[in-house]
A and B are shown apart, each in its own frame.
Chain A
Amino acid sequence: KAGVTQTPRYLIKTRGQQVTLSCSPISGHRSVSWYQQTPGQGLQFLFEYFSETQRNKGNFPGRFSGRQFSNSRSEMNVSTLELGDSALYLCASSSFTSPNEQFFGPGTRLTVL
């Protein structure tokens, strides 16, 4: 089985721009979660999608949004980028039978200049 894939792997944007990150879960996994990783803060939960519905949301401003498609692929969007949005964005997928065991992608490294 192919693992979780994320594109792009690296991205450089400037303040005020918007960005869309993509995540393809493991085949058969219907749950996709997004996390932001910054030094010292660990993994901060952004949101979780299951069957195209957002089931859970972390404490991030509305500039952060996401969606999930019928094939379980997910995208997250950040609008009006700020310098503090520079981070590694990770997505993870899990199966219905083992919802707690998440499989992570390699992440997208976003740098905001």
Chain B
Amino acid sequence: DQQVKQNSPSLSVQEGRISILNCDYTNSMFDYFLWYKKYPAEGPTFLISISSIKDKNEDGRFTVFLNKSAKHLSLHIVPSQPGDSAVYFCAASEGNDMRFGAGTRLTVKP
């Protein structure tokens, strides 16, 4: 059962524009949400996280938004850079149980 879903397998944006990656979840008990970035031949690296008590967390060019009523989170990257091209996974956790989405491949074109 896919408790965390990333419905867009790929996204292509122009350098300097905004990238918006979306993620939906079904388990209302999830209380912590994360985004990971993965380059080929490397393991995922932690990018940004948000607790369920917040609705927004910002770190430089990266902002994560959480809409608990819609069970939806999104990652905004502004401005997008070619080095941001990677696969992005969203994850949601309840205690020690962490579930990942299928990933969205972001391509930022120069």
Contacts and interface: CB of A to CB of B under 8 A. Distances in A.
A55 B96 contact: yes
A51 interface: no
Contact of A45 (B46, B49, B100): B100
A33 B99 CA distance: 11
B73 to A, nearest CB: 14
B43 A43 contact: no
A8 interface: no
A40 B93 contact: no
B108 to A, nearest CB: 21
B43 A48 contact: no
Interface of A is mostly: strand
A103 interface: yes
Residues of A in contact with B, size category? 20 to 34
A55 B100 CA distance: 18
A56 interface: yes
B34 interface: yes
Contacts of B32: 100
A43 B93 CA distance: 13
B25 interface: no
Interface in A45-84: 45, 48, 50, 55-56, 59
A28 interface: no
Interface string A24-51: 0000000101010000111111001010
B98 A42 contact: no
Interface string B73-106: 0000000000000000101010011111111000
Interface of A: 4, 31, 33, 35, 40-45, 48, 50, 55-56, 59, 90, 92, 99-107
The 6 tightest CB contacts between A and B, nearest first, are: A104-B43, A42-B102, A43-B100, A100-B32, A104-B44, A106-B43
